[in-house]
Every structure is written in C-alpha cells, then in structure tokens.
Amino acid sequence: MKDARSLRWMGVITLFVIVAISYVDRINISILITDPAFLAHIGLTPDDRTRQGLLATAFMVGYGVSSFVLTPFAAALFGVRRSLIAGLVLWGVVTFLSPMMSSYGLLLASRILLGVSEGPLFSLAGSYIKAHFESRENGKPNSLVNMGTGLGLAVGYPFIGYLVVGHDWETSFHVLGLINIALGIPLVLAFIRMPRVDSGLPKPRSMTEAVGQVGQIVRGALHTRHLLLVTVMTAAFLSYLWGSSNWLPAYLKESRGFSMREMGWLASLPQYASVLAVFVGGVIIDRIQRRQVPLIFIFGSLGVALGVWLAIHVQDRYTAAYCLILANFCWGLMSPAFPSTVQHCARPEHVASAYGVVNGAGSLVAGFMPAIMGAVIGWTSQSAGGGFLAGFGLLIGTQVVVMACGALLWLRERAGPADEHAPAHAA
C-alpha cells in the first residue's frame, strides 16, 4: 500500500512534466512572431497583429473542440495511459514537421492539429488524480500538475529565445518535437498506472458498447453541479493566460524596449511567480473548508486586475515587469482551484468528461483572446492610450468576470449541503 501511494505521486510528477512540455509547444509561436525571418517565411509583416494573434487562436480552437469531442472517447475507450502516449506522438510529429509549412494557411492548419492532439490532456490528468486522491487531499496534486503551466512558460520563453538567436527559428520546432517523444513517452510508460476500473464503468467490449458508454458519460457530466458557472469562469480565467502569454514577448520588446535576450528572461519571471503561486494555492485548498475555496477566485482575480492595471500605467519599464509578476502570482493562486472544484462537483466516472466540457468550452472562448488583443493593438496603435495599453486593458475585463463568477459560486456553496463529499449529480 505504501509503494502504491508513493507511485501515485510519480504519476503526478509525470503529468507535471507533460503539461510543462505542452506549454512550451504552445508559446513557441509567441516568440517567433518577433522574428523577421519567421514572419517572412509564412508571408506576414511585423504590423499584421490580427493574423499573428490568429496563430495562437487556431491552436486554442482545435484544443477546445478536441476537449469536447475526444475526451469522452479517450476516457471510455482508450484510457488515460494510451491516450497520453498517442497525444505525445502526435504532438511531436506535428511540431517537428511545422517548418515544412511554407505558407500562413498551412501553418495555421498545423496549429489547429496540435491543439486537437493536446485537447484531452488536463481532463486525463483530472481522471488520474480523481482515481488516486480523495477530495480532501486533491489540492496538492492538482497544484503540482498545474505548476507545469507556469514552468513550461517560464522555461519556454528564454529557451525558445536562445534557439532562435543562437540557431534559427526552424531549430525551435525540431527540438521541441524531439523532446515530446523522447522525454514524455518513457515517463508515461514508467509511471502512469490507473485502477483496473478507472471510469466507474466496465471496459467496453465493442465499439457500439463504447459509444453507448460515451453517451452515458457525457449525459452524466452535463449534470455536474455548477457546470455552467465554472465554465464561464474558466473561459475568463484562461483568456488572461492566452492573451498575456501570447503578447507578453512583443509587449516587452516593442512597447518597453527590451532586447530579444532581455525579453526572454523577463517574460519568464512572471511564469516562475505563477509556478510558486500554484503550489501555494494547492496548499491553501487542502487547509480550508471546501465551501471557502471560491474565495480564492475572488481575491485572486482582484490581484490580477490590479497588477495588470499598474503594469500598463507605470512609466518605469522594470516596474511594469514587476507588476506583471504580481499579476501572474495572483493568477497562479487560482489555478489549482479549477480542477479541484470540478473533481469535487462531479462523480468519479464523469470527471474527465465534465472537465472536458469546462476546459474545452473555456479554451474555445479564451482562444479568441490573442486574436482580439492583436486586432485591438493594431487598430488603436496610432491613438493616445491605444496599442498595447488598450490590448492589455482587455485582460482586466476578464478578471472582472472571474470575480463575479467566484462570488456567485461562493454564495451557492454556502447555501449547499453541509456534507462536502455529497454526491455531485444534482443539477
């Protein structure tokens, strides 16, 4: 029993590493759009902000749709282990071959395919944690997995910057593609183990039976408590992540005047802050009453909004960078509370699909934030108070939504049943 309990943490660490790898893949483009050679290769100009932002949006569209469509099949038919391996193979191949895409349209298609392959990741991680950890102890494993988000961004910015400056933009794709396969797959094979019946349903014996189970899982997931509220809050929460992470390098380089090398490590500092904050958030979740968890959303979103407002209004460029570190720390505090809330509200057999709905819909909406920010930055670049100031101002609005949803969730949880482990199938 002791060995099994220690091995479950090795699985969590494996998921942490895979999430970190996936986020380096995702933000690769945000560095490359500052490289003239890359823009020339795909036929873009430096001032074409909308189409630059659409490269990130294309990934998120594929990611969001995949979370809806593929997650239930991955949970019912393939299982966590095989789904992760298949995803890593596809990520690696698509990323490695991306430099062969010699036009904007082809690269856009490859980003959609990369998003499709990564879509089920967090839902599969949620299923693993639900299977191995009780509700009262899921804060720290959720925080560790979500720390991969910040670490991937923190390592990714300077790492990709180094590859571009020291080699060329094609090398960044090739190296990332190899890392996916050479590092991710052996870790999954070694440490990801699920209970014999990890979905709460018998293993399907035919495709017809599997499709029937998928329908049963989806219907059950849609009855998860607070599903719509948490989904709206997730969309606003992820809009900050994708808007800020996609435009932060360009903001630091073009609006604040940092060099490519300075931009790499300065862009990584807010991500390290979020890594630390995710861990702190997980510890807090395990130490407070379940019904008080929504307070993390309220105070965290307030801190993010304040940090971004200060960052875009202060004059000193280093002070602006410090304010963005504050914003990301407050954002990271909220991160583990999202999967923890879904795991608390959903039945074990519905966790993957419920999180697929939440993460898929949230990602699909949030995926448009890079393109929207790019359009606003481009349209307002010639006006006072426009450009990056207006673009980053949109991020403050996302946190107002998170704050409002968090307050409503807190009120609903206070009015809910006293038993925090009560069945979560009520509408």
DSSP string, 365-414: HHTTHHHHHHHHHHHTTTSTT-THHHHHHHHHHHHHHHHHHHHHHHHHHH
Boundaries of every domain in the chain: 2-191+209-414
Determine the Cα–Cα distance for residues 225 and 358; give it in Å rounded to an integer.
Answer: 12
Q: Indicate the class that CATH gives domain 2-191+209-414.
A: mainly alpha
pLDDT of amino acid 183: 92
pLDDT digits (tens, 9 = 90+) for 70-109: 766 665 667 788 888 988 998 899 899 988 888 888 888 8
Determine the Cα–Cα distance for residues 247 and 377; give it in Å rounded to an integer.
Answer: 10
pLDDT of amino acid 421: 40
Long-range Cβ pairs for the range 395-400 (8 Å, 24+): 395/239, 395/240, 395/243, 395/244, 395/304, 395/308, 396/305, 396/308, 396/309, 398/236, 398/237, 398/239, 398/240, 398/243, 398/369, 399/236, 399/240, 399/301, 399/302, 399/304, 399/305, 399/308, 400/301, 400/305
Determine the Cα–Cα distance for residues 313 and 322; give it in Å rounded to an integer.
Answer: 13
pLDDT of amino acid 302: 95
pLDDT of amino acid 327: 93
Give the DSSP letter of residue 75.
Answer: I
The token duo for 176 is 């990332």
Q: Which residues of the chain have pLDDT under 50?
A: 1, 197-201, 418-427
Cβ 327 vs Cβ 308: under 8 Å: yes
Q: What amino acid is encoded at 176 in this protein?
A: L
Sign of CA dihedral 285, 413, 71, 332: negative
Cβ 188 vs Cβ 88: under 8 Å: yes
- Length of the chain, please? 427
Determine the Cα–Cα distance for residues 370 and 244; give it in Å rounded to an integer.
Answer: 8
Determine the Cα–Cα distance for residues 321 and 317; give it in Å rounded to an integer.
Answer: 6
Query: What pTM value is reported for the model?
Result: 0.68
The token duo for 87 is 């995803």
Cβ 267 vs Cβ 24: under 8 Å: no
pLDDT of amino acid 203: 53
pLDDT of amino acid 246: 79
How many degrees, rounded to 5, is the angle at CA 405 between CA 401 and CA 411?
Answer: 150
Largest Cα–Cα separation, the chain? 65
Closest to 293 measured CA to CA, from 396, 404, 398, 407: 407
Distance of CA 318 to CAs 93, 311, 321, 332, Å?
39, 9, 5, 21
Q: What amino acid is encoded at 347 in this protein?
A: R
pLDDT digits (tens, 9 = 90+) for 316-326: 888 888 898 99
Residue 14 half-sphere exposure, CB side, CA atoms within 13 Å?
A: 27
Angle between helices 79-97 and 121-132 (to 10 degrees): 150
